[in-house]
Structure 1
Amino acid sequence: MNIDVLGTLNVRENGVSITPTAPKPRQVLALLALRADQVVSVASLTEELWGSTPPRSARTIMQTYVLQLRELIASARERGREPTGARRAPKAVLATLPGGYLLDSDGGASDVRDFEHLVAAGYRAMDAGDFQDAARKLRQALGLWTGPAFADVLPGEQLQMEIRRLEEIRLCALDQCIGAELRLGRHRDLLAELTLLINRHPTHEKLRSQYMLALYRSGRRGEALEAYQDLRATLVRELGLEPSAELQRIQRLILMEGADAPLGRPAAGRADRLVRSN
């Protein structure tokens, strides 16, 4: 089984899609696919579909959705190229277990699992000071996203929580990746991407500091200072807050602008001394 959720939902058994078109069965499959090879409780599925007000017939309706998914699995296995004797029964692929259901991926691919493994490897490389490997692994991880998670699923409470969790992991991986690439002196290459990101996340201070650094290192000191003032105005207007002490420090260093200031381009192979947390 191959599972993709970092974009549109696409679950394939034996090379054939088993993704239903009806919204509710689609929600059920989405949650099962995200937690493939784990038991998903009936309570979690019920909350996903109906929130805190499930109908009296919720369990019967749930069983109907599971039956529909098994029919799609059976059809996929008939249409696939796997030999008949090697085919698993639909009830083995989508198993009923005490308290819930389990979607057995049978060792297949999952873009979420691949994403999380690559992110963890990228963080280990960052901790070891290998910024080249960190940037490579984190870019590979981010490249698995083809759109917002579960882009074509109408999410309930459970999926909304998972979408927020995945987006936070993605955003953290992104700022770590940019930090690694800044340490490698790729400031000009990052400017277009950072411009889009700060427009998408106008109060994200880490991304803003990276944008300021990339501008400054590209010889665009005035624009770097404007980027700080734009953020400050947004924070004061929307949240009643001043920029963090770290961001204010970066602004002061840009204002200093001297040959000995710690904002200049990093030497080859040297870690940037300014944004150590990037």
Structure 2
Amino acid sequence: MYSDSNLSDGLTGALDRATAPAPEDEVRFTLLGPLEVRRGGVDYAPSTPKILQLLAMLVTQPGKMVHTDSLIEELWASSPPRSVRATLHTYIYHLRRCIIQHGLAADGEDLLVRKPPGYILRIDPAQLDVHAFARLQQQGREAQRANRHAEAARAYRAALDLWSGPPLANIHCGPVLSAYTVDLLEQRRSTLRMRIEAEINSGKHLELIGELRSLTSGNPLDEALHGQLMRALGRSGRRSDAMVVYRRLRAKLTDELGVEPCDELQVLHRNLLSEGEPAT
């Protein structure tokens, strides 16, 4: 039988593997911040904006064919040059040269392959920080389902620590990459909330109050964060402060959006009220 101890050891081992440093000679790609192509601590990403943007399109689909039309849409949106395919071929050529010059592959055409109707960057998803981010997210969910909240929080924290700034921060994103970055940012927000939830459930509610006050100040209409702040305050014996948080949020929602707080927050508010009522 697989005991709780076995489960804990397995999750801890998986977390350690996900956060282990890469071998010095392995090429790694970062998307959770500026796009970088790192090997041995050095960034070899191309500096030309369009070529960097082209690389980003290929890196976001590791080992998969990216259609030429998608590349053109991203690079030029609704205003492609007259000789757009010849220009794209030139960018591909310069990207392959960059790969060879920096020793990222023995042959640029082996790494960046023409496969009609598009191109494939032959890299392993494990070379991307977004892959490690997704693995750590999953490990956090597995730990949370097993009611191992401290381990879940550790996994979520490790996932968030992979971020160095806004995704693809050094790229002027077109329509395709803009949608990709929106999805990544939403995943980051979700992971942050899950990390806070895991830490509340592991008994760290008091330590979270300052962080949650800062987060709710920057996200004044975020009901989930306000609910977590209310719970952290309530569990810390600050029921009246929690109710102030609710009243301020409710006033802002009704004034700016014309809506009431969600059902979950209303239930939380009623529970806080009932805790202060004398027993009958």
TM-score, length-scaled by structure 2: 0.84
Contact 1:3 1:12 (8 Å CA) reproduced: yes
Q: Secondary structure at the match of 1:101?
A: strand
Q: Could you say what secondary structure the match of 1:176 adopts?
A: helix
Contact 1:198 1:208 in 2 (8 A): yes
- Per-residue CA deviation, residues 219-262 of structure 1 (Å, 9 max, x unaligned), is 3323211211221122122221110111011112222225999x
Select between 244-253 and 193-202 the one with higher mean Cα deviation.
193-202
> 1:113/1:11 Cα in 2 relative to 1: closer, same or farther (>3 Å)?
same
Q: CA RMSD in A?
A: 2.1
Unaligned runs of 5+ in 2: 1-26
Letter in 2 for 1:52: S
Equivalent residue for 1:49, pick from 58, 75, 81: 75
The TM-score normalised by the length of structure 1 is: 0.84
Give the deviation of 1:169 after TM superposition: 1.1
For 1:2, which of 28, 33, 37 is the aligned residue? 28
Residue in 2 that maps onto 1:83 = none
Pairing partner for 2:185 from 145, 158, 167 = 167
CA distance, structure 2, for counterparts of residue 172 and residue 260 of structure 1: 38
SS in 1 for 2:102: helix
Q: 1:237 to 1:258 in 2, by over 3 A?
A: closer
Q: Distance in 2 between matches of 1:229 and 1:40?
A: 50
Structure 2 residue 249 is matched with structure 1 residue 231? yes
Match of 1:74 in 2: 100
The runs of 4+ residues in structure 1 deviating greater than 4 Å are: 13-16, 258-261
Q: Which amino acid aligns with 1:205?
A: E
Q: Partners of 2:106 and 2:242 in 1: how far apart?
A: 59
In the aligned structure 2, how far is the partner of 1:139 from the partner of 1:176?
A: 10
Change (3 A) 1:75 1:217: same
Q: After TM superposition, list the pairs within 5 Å mapping 1:234-245 onto structure 2.
A: 234-245=252-263
The offset of 1:106, in angstroms, is 5.1
2:234 corresponds, among 216, 233, 238, to 216
Instruction: Pick one of 203, 225, 250 that aligns with 2:268.
Output: 250
- In structure 1, what is the Cα distance between the partners aligned to 2:256 and 2:125? 47
Please tell me whether residue 139 in structure 1 is matched to residue 139 in structure 2: no
SS where residue 127 of structure 2 aligns?
coil
Change (3 A) 1:15 1:142: closer
Superposed, 1:1-278 pairs within 5 Å as 1-12=27-38, 16-77=42-103, 87-105=105-123, 109-258=127-276
More off after superposition, 169-178 vs 191-200: 191-200
In 1, Cα distance between the equivalents of 2:145 and 2:278? 27
What is the deviation of 1:11? 1.3
Any idea what SS the aligned residue of 1:129 has? coil
Q: Percent of aligned positions with the same letter in both sequences?
A: 40
In 2, Cα distance between equivalents of 1:138 and 1:14: 27
Cα distance in structure 1, aligned partners of 2:82 and 2:129: 36
